[in-house]
Amino acid sequence: MDFALFVQYALSGITVGSVYAIVAIGFNIIYCTTGIINFAQGEFLIVGAMTAISLAEVAPLPVAILGAVLITTALGAVVELVFIRQVRNASVLRLIIITIGLSIVMREVMLHIWDEQVRSLPYFTGTEISTVTILGAHISPQVLWVLGVSAVIVAALTLFFRYTTTGRAMRACADDRMAARLCGVNDRWMVTLSFMLSAGMGALAGCVVSPITQTQYDMGAPLAIKGFTVAILGGMGNSMAAVAAGLFLGLLEAFVVSVLPSSYKEVAAIVVLLLILVFRPSGLFARRDMSALRTA
Amino acid sequence: MMRRRIYYPVLAAAALVVVLHVALAASGKTYYMTQITMSAYYALVVIGLCLLMGYAGQISLGHAGFFAIGGYTIAVLTTYNLGNWRDTPAIGLLRSLGLLMQWQDMYGRDILSFSPWLAFAVALLLTTLIALAIGLPVIRLRGHYLAMATLGFGLIIYRIVLGARLLGQADGISNVPAFGLADGLQVNGRAPFRVQNYYIAWFAVLAAMVLSLNLIHSRVGRALRSIHQSEEAAHSLGIDTYRYKLATFILSALFAAVGGALLTHYNGSIGPSEATVMKSVRYVAIVAVGGMANLWGAMLMGVVLNFLSLRGVFGSFDDAVFGAILIGVMIFAPQGLLRMPRLRAVTFLLPRRKRA
Amino acid sequence: MRTRLAATLGVLVLVCAVLVSGCKKSPEAPAPKQAAPGAPPIKVGAIFSITGPASFLGAPEAKTVEMFAEKLNQSGGVLGRRIELLVRDSGGSPEKAISLAKQLIDEEKVLAILGPSTSGESLQIKSICQEGQTILLSCAAAEEIVVPLASYVFKTPQKDSQAAQCIFNTMKDLGITKIGVITSNTGFGKGGKAHLEKMAPENGVEILVNEVYEKEATDLTGVLTKVKGAGVQAVVNWSIEPAQGIVAKNMKQIELNVPLFQSHGYGNIKYVQGSGEAANGTIFPCGRLLVADSLPADHPQKALLTQYKKDYESRYGEDASTFGGHAYDAILILTEAIKKAGSTDPKAVRDAIENLQGLVGTAGVFNFSAQDHNGLGLDAFEMLTVKDQKFAIYQK
């Protein structure tokens, strides 16, 4: 294939891969602080996008997005306080099942609040037919927004975890919860904060991709599955690796389409997941110490 | 002494099944049998999953995949028309062995296909092989890794049945013939056969219960329970944990496949909707509500919840109800609904599992 | 103790939220206004995918039949008896559709079943209805629903093969000979793909790229890049779900500037709104509902279409779509057949349907026969296009 076509595929892969990466980072944050796999992570993206769409009818776009992020963050806190905190002596099995149940219930509530119609946010810049040319490939300017926002989120998180007290407290919890408590860290609040952070991040990601992918009440689950694949691929808990793994999976899917019938695209992701789980469950980039929250 | 614990409750259950039939017939509501029969086949999956989750302590988010393997195998083999190869020696040989079936479909067309007995055997064999292939690498994994691996397995099966032309793609396979078990006895959804299919389904369920109860009250069952309580301890006692877990996995897969095969004959069709993640999640929800290690509870909930769902009692909230059940049970009654203190009274009739 | 209380309250609030939001949306059975007192109502069942993955089909279909039945009952019903509509939600799940169909046939003893909304469900309940001697008026498109023929089974959407033929006819006018075909992995998409592949050579068209995408696909740039790389003169997209809107956008974004043909599943203005400006210039065959206002005054369908559109939009506050139209046709055919047969004996009504000729519906003018249980021909289609983000009749 010629270079322009190659770049076209690559860009399509990177776009979709960065969304996967954001979902994976959301998983990682919660996993590191609590050990829980949050199956409802995908739903946070959709709730954020849907809320923004509703708010955008009465407010300018930036305000709508901000409002959606705040509301979804609050939702994340509510979810943690009401459902997760109540479970004592929780085994992994129980927590997994609870988050699965949450994912389903959130999806159904969204269906009844917003009905089954497909909606989308307006493009941040330009319209549906604007296109930007990069190295011979044509993409929508929204793609640049997706890449930009993802990069900002990752950068902001890195700074947060490295340089702020709260961030370091969360990392402490991830490393050793009891020790963190002994140091005076309010670990229960850290758990709530991790949910809030994941939810808010997810909402922002949901908003930025909404013009490209459109938003429908049941899009959460497939996103969560892909995001989880990416999280495991990079190694649970390792956010920088999640970014790399997300881009890898996105590119893999895009290039699979170029040589095989496109129905194999979905299978590629699942096969990758199974291979990783069987041969290297700690992930491609894992080092010895698995439980730390690493963003750098 | 052992037999009392197993056979008395099973006989009691069988008696209840007959009583239910009489009650329905007396009130003229025998049509409820349709949904009860369908639910009984779903309960087969639940019983197997209960063994896996409650006793062997392994979670499976992909059990709908095994149901689909059983159902689709039987559907393909009994509907594929071999008529074009009628005169080849291979087909002639199969015919003489009685492995083929000649029948007329709904439109009056003549179809020569594999007999349901052969298809059934193939389905079981295929399920065992696939369960072995999946189980060998995956049973090693713990907790959420195992969950994700089984989820991945379920997704692959879904993609295969959705994408393969032989399997009917999105429309599934229809016009599946009846399964003739013996003279006059058929697995079939048509109205004249309603009562006999009710008993066939319950026979399958109670046979599965007998098998499972025998299993858990045997050495194997005790080994499984010890694995569930503490795998390291069991291992240190010399129990081959890996082999036991794998065997339970395969057995639970077979239960699901049998349920799938028989329901496919009963419905006369199967579609990709039987292999979705949501279906697998439902099975898990039912096992959780019935009590992770409570076979009778799981069976009961399997029949009741599916019955209500199939009759449309939950309306548009079907999935939401199962999701809410999952959350509710996990928070309030992790041992299952029937072990909650307030419901103790109801359960005194049911056989109690001795806490190890 | 307190935390348990908090959790219980949380769950209760959640349940209430769901119930309250559900109350707003669930369609309610209308109360009958006038009918002959004492005459037993005519029971008609309906199975639609009101929720679930096919809700964009089932929800408008359910709303349409309820509106129709209510209006009919208000003007005296059929043969002096009112229609009792039993609408059930299958959630897009065929096994539920099977169970509901058996309930409607065995317990409620309905005369006919309207729907289901999807091909998969229709095919799986086809034999149940046939054996139960209950008329089935499916709103799904698969050809296999009526071919091979089962005497009690009918369908109301147009024939896929004829939609494809309309597309090829337009392509001939435009001199297009090399195309790319992309279809979704659903019953509808699969049917369309089969017809396009079979009919392309007969119409002098070569399919250079033939791809299937997942129905929940949210980004088709990968697939379309492949299509662009093959150097096609036009793209045909055959799907029925929201992905239709994404195709148009992605094509413009990767600068694949060739004509886009859609199937008759494009019949909802929301898909146009979803792709905004990118949708302009799309060409597709469709029933005339969407352009009812632009039809000449003497067109046989004009009065019915404008009335339906007006009623639906004023009652439900959303745009009418061709999907709802298929359900309208189903209940219309049934009630007309009952009137013609003069009785509610299933066999008599069934025979009456087969003898319906020149019945004006939303999808076209129906002419049934013992061999044709669909009743629509090529003339049921009009080639439409999108101009200024609105539907318009395609001018050559």
- Asked which of B82-86, B225-229, C13-17, C221-225 is least confident by mean pLDDT, the reply is C13-17
Does residue C27 surpass a pLDDT of 50? no
Distance (Å, rounded) from C-alpha B302 to C-alpha B44?
A: 8
Higher pLDDT, B251 or C253: B251
For chain C, the structural domain boundaries read 39-158+306-379, 160-286
Q: Determine contact, residues A177/A187, Cβ cutoff 8 Å.
A: yes
What is the pLDDT, as a whole number, of residue B336?
A: 64
What is the pLDDT, as a whole number, of residue B238?
A: 77
What is the pLDDT, as a whole number, of residue B27?
A: 87
Higher pLDDT, B166 or C44: C44
What phi and psi, each to the nearest 5 degrees, are found at residue A130?
-65, 145
What is the pLDDT, as a whole number, of residue B337?
A: 62
Question: What is the pLDDT averaged over residues C43-64?
Answer: 91
Contacts (Cβ under 8 Å, ≥6 apart) of A48: A68, A69, A71, A72, A199, A202, A203, A204, A205, A206, A207
Does residue A286 surpass a pLDDT of 80? no
Q: Determine contact, residues C127/B174, Cβ cutoff 8 Å.
A: yes
The CATH architecture of the domain made up of C160-286 is 3-Layer(aba) Sandwich (3.40)
CA distance B234 to chain A (A): 19
Question: What is the pLDDT averaged over residues C281-308?
Answer: 90
What is the pLDDT, as a whole number, of residue C165?
A: 93
What is the pLDDT, as a whole number, of residue B341?
A: 52
> pLDDT digits over C302-339, tens only?
999 999 999 999 999 888 888 999 999 999 999 999 99
Tokens representing C339 are 């009137």
Please report all neighbours of A, defined by 3+ CB atom pairs within 8 A.
B, C
**Confidence grade of residue B250 (pLDDT, cut at 50, 70, 90):** very high
**Confidence grade of residue C58 (pLDDT, cut at 50, 70, 90):** very high
The residues on B that touch C, with CB distances below 8 Å, are 31, 34-35, 38, 106-107, 109, 162-163, 169-172, 174-175, 189-191, 263, 267-269, 271-274, 309-312, 315-320, 324, 327-328, 331-332
> For residue C237, what are the β-bridge partners?
C182, C262
What is the pLDDT, as a whole number, of residue A127?
A: 75
Does residue A295 surpass a pLDDT of 50? no
Overall size of chain A counted in residues: 296
Tokens representing B169 are 């793609």
Residue in chain B nearest A262 by alpha carbon: B163
DSSP-based three-state secondary structure for A254: helix
- For the whole model, what pTM was predicted? 0.87
Q: C14 to chain B: which residues are within 8 Å by CB?
A: 324
The two domains C39-158+306-379 and C160-286 share their CATH topology (first three levels equal): yes
**Residue among B163, B129, B116, B160 nearest B261 (CA):** B116
Does residue B111 surpass a pLDDT of 80? yes
Q: Would strands B179-182 and B185-187 be described as parallel, antiparallel, or unpaired?
A: antiparallel
Contacts (Cβ under 8 Å, ≥6 apart) of B39: B302, B303, B304, B305, B306, B307, B310
Distance (Å, rounded) from C-alpha B47 to C-alpha B41?
A: 10
Degrees to nearest 5, angle at CA B171 with C365 and C45: 55
What is the pLDDT, as a whole number, of residue A287?
A: 56
Does residue C78 surpass a pLDDT of 60? yes
> pLDDT digits over C197-246, tens only?
999 999 999 999 999 888 777 778 888 888 888 889 999 999 887 778 88
Tokens representing B267 are 């419905």
- Which single residue is written with the structure tokens 């339906």? C308
What is the pLDDT, as a whole number, of residue B138?
A: 84
Tokens representing C39 are 């005459």
Question: What is the pLDDT averaged over residues C99-128?
Answer: 92
Peptide bond into A261 cis (omega under 30): no
**Confidence grade of residue A292 (pLDDT, cut at 50, 70, 90):** very low
Q: Is the dihedral of CA B288, B244, B210, B207 positive or negative?
A: positive
Distance (Å, rounded) from C-alpha B104 to C-alpha B85?
A: 17
Q: Determine contact, residues C186/C215, Cβ cutoff 8 Å.
A: yes
**Residue among A216, A286, A290, A283 nearest A249 (CA):** A283
Higher pLDDT, A180 or C153: C153
Higher pLDDT, A200 or B237: A200
Q: Determine contact, residues C272/C390, Cβ cutoff 8 Å.
A: yes
Does residue C100 surpass a pLDDT of 90? yes
Question: Which residue type is seen at A111?
Answer: L
What is the pLDDT, as a whole number, of residue B338?
A: 57
> pLDDT digits over C161-175, tens only?
999 999 999 999 999
- Which single residue is written with the structure tokens 């006692």? B237
Does residue B328 surpass a pLDDT of 80? yes
Q: A128 to chain C: which residues are within 8 Å by CB?
A: 248-249, 252-253, 275-278
Q: Determine contact, residues A123/C274, Cβ cutoff 8 Å.
A: no
Tokens representing A222 are 């497939």
Question: Which residue type is seen at C47?
Answer: I
Alpha carbon B15 to its chain's center? 22
CA distance A140 to chain C (A): 5
CA distance B328 to chain C (A): 8
**Residue among C252, C275, C246 nearest C182 (CA):** C246
**Residue among B247, B88, B78 nearest B173 (CA):** B78
Q: Determine contact, residues C234/C267, Cβ cutoff 8 Å.
A: no
> pLDDT digits over B167-197, tens only?
888 888 988 988 888 777 788 888 888 888 9
What is the pLDDT, as a whole number, of residue C85?
A: 94
**Within an 8 Å CB–CB cutoff, is residue B93 touching chain A?**
no
> pLDDT digits over A196-238, tens only?
999 999 999 999 988 888 888 888 888 888 888 898 888 887 7
Q: Determine contact, residues A110/A217, Cβ cutoff 8 Å.
A: yes
Does residue C297 surpass a pLDDT of 80? yes
Does residue C355 surpass a pLDDT of 90? yes
The CATH architecture of the domain made up of C39-158+306-379 is 3-Layer(aba) Sandwich (3.40)
**Confidence grade of residue C1 (pLDDT, cut at 50, 70, 90):** very low
Q: Which of B21-25, B254-258, C390-394 has the highest mean pLDDT?
A: B254-258
Does residue B314 surpass a pLDDT of 90? no
CB contact under 8 A, B317 and C107: no
| Torsion angle, alpha carbons of C26, C28, C29, C33, to 10 | -160
What is the pLDDT, as a whole number, of residue A161?
A: 85
Contacts (Cβ under 8 Å, ≥6 apart) of A277: A232, B138, B141, B145, B148, B149, B152
DSSP-based three-state secondary structure for C391: strand
Ordered alpha helix ranges (H), chain C: 2-25, 55-74, 94-102, 119-131, 160-174, 187-199, 221-229, 243-253, 269-275, 302-316, 322-341, 346-354
Q: B42 to chain C: which residues are within 8 Å by CB?
A: none
Q: A261 to chain C: which residues are within 8 Å by CB?
A: 211-212
